[in-house]
Structures are given as structure tokens and as C-alpha cells.
């Protein structure tokens, strides 16, 4: 099957990337369960689009408790502007943002408040292979932060070029993790080789009603029926 890249052209230019970390795993974050105290967003927590212009926001990657978006913001400001340039209801945002976003610099208690969210990382560009597998450039000097779940980056040198090769050519990068193991009262250092950079592996198929079905080779969402 031939590989292809789909390009979506808009009138907006991406200025920065924002990653947020959710402090609560309340079911409303990841499901259709309602949160009775947040009526403005129809009972949904963190419902992207209720307060932001979705024509200027693109979802990059996310996992259980975090999400990263690329944003077309104010070109005259730097990458720390967060969501300020894409807010729809400015008065409502100014009145209520303090209940979710951290407002006290250096305060861990404020940053981790219940039902809140904190800025995890910000940058000017992002390459996302899969959840918890990405690189984000954090300033204009190409200083990058690489996140690879399950890979010890102290003993494995991962570069931007390897990530780009994985995207463009499907090239797999092998990594070696070292750990200590004990057997018969004897400690040994174990060397484990694994795939450090690969394409994404589908673990489940999400249907139109948001239910998840197991991934079976050769089957697509069209092969499942919603009862």
C-alpha cells in the first residue's frame, strides 16, 4: 500500500505549540459523563472549542492526562502566549480561567489544584510520532525536548534527524536499555534491545459512538456494527 501525506491548507499560520497536563482524571475528560458544576460547556470538562476558535487550533497528540495543540496565535508575540489569541468569549475567559490555569508563579499547590490544568511544555514546532513519543522545539535556537516512553535517553542518543527519518522513510531506530536483575542471589546488569522509534501501532478502533473495538489485522471500522 502506497504511503501518502495529506496537506490541509488554511489562511492561518501556526505560531506556537502548547501542551497542557490535566490534574484530574474525572470521567468527563475522556468520556461522555457530564460534570454538573460546569454548565457553560454543557457539562463537559476541557471541551476544546467552547472557548477557543477551532479554525486556529490543531490537535497534535495526547494521552490519558495531557494534550498538545499547535495554535495560530499572535505573530508579534513569542511561543509563551498560550491560548490568549484564540479565545472566543474574552470576558468569560478572564473571569474563569483562574479556576483552571495556574495563576501564582512558582506555587505547586496552585499548579496542581483539583480539576485544574497546567502548562506542561511550550515551543515553536512539534514532531509527534505517537502519544508520549514526540519532539518539541522549545525556542528559536532549535533547543529541543524529546519524549520517548520506555527509552532511557541517558544511554541512548536520539536526534531530530532520526525522528524525521522515521516519519519520512519509516526508518526504525533501535535502542538499548540497561537495568539490574537478580537471580539466585546474584546481581547482574541486563542489556535489553528494543525499538526506540517506530510508527504508531494501532491498539484499538474507535467507532462513531466512541466505543472501542480490538484491532484485528485486515479489519477496519466499517467491519464493526454499532448495536
What single-letter DSSP state applies at residue 18? E
User: 88 near 49, Cβ under 8 Å?
Assistant: no
Residue 36, SS3?
coil
Q: What is the pLDDT of residue 27?
A: 44
Nearest partner of 196 among 169, 157, 164, 223, judged by Cα: 157
Strand order from edge to edge, sheet including 133-137: 125-130, 133-137, 144-148
User: 173 near 158, Cβ under 8 Å?
Assistant: yes
Local mean pLDDT, 10-residue blocks, the chain (227 residues): 58 79 58 51 53 79 81 87 85 82 79 79 84 80 77 86 85 88 86 82 72 80 80
Amino acid at each position: 500500500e502506497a504511503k501518502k501525506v495529506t496537506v490541509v491548507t488554511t489562511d492561518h499560520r501556526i505560531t506556537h505549540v502548547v501542551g497542557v497536563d490535566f490534574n484530574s482524571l474525572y470521567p468527563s475528560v475522556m468520556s461522555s459523563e457530564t460534570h454538573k458544576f460546569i454548565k457553560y460547556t454543557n457539562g463537559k470538562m476541557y471541551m476544546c472549542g467552547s472557548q477557543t476558535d477551532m479554525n486556529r487550533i490543531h490537535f497534535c497528540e495526547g494521552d490519558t492526562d495531557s494534550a498538545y495543540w499547535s495554535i495560530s496565535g499572535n505573530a508579534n508575540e513569542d511561543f509563551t502566549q498560550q491560548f490568549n489569541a484564540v479565545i472566543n468569549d474574552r470576558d468569560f475567559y478572564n473571569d474563569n480561567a483562574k479556576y483552571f490555569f495556574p495563576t501564582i508563579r512558582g506555587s505547586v499547590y496552585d499548579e496542581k489544584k483539583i480539576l485544574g490544568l497546567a502548562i506542561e511544555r511550550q515551543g515553536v514546532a512539534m514532531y509527534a510520532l505517537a502519544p508520549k513519543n514526540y519532539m518539541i522545539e522549545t525556542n528559536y535556537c532549535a533547543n529541543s525536548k524529546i519524549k520517548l516512553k520506555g527509552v532511557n535517553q541517558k544511554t541512548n542518543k536520539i536526534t531530530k534527524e532520526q525522528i524525521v527519518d522515521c516519519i519520512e522513510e519509516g526508518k526504525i531506530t533501535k535502542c538499548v536499555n540497561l537495568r539490574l536483575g537478580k537471580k539466585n542471589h546474584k546481581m547482574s546488569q541486563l542489556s535489553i534491545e528494543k525499538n526506540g522509534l517506530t510508527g504508531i501501532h494501532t491498539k484499538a478502533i474507535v467507532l462513531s459512538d466512541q466505543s472501542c473495538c480490538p484491532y484485528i489485522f485486515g479489519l477496519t471500522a466499517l467491519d464493526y456494527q454499532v448495536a
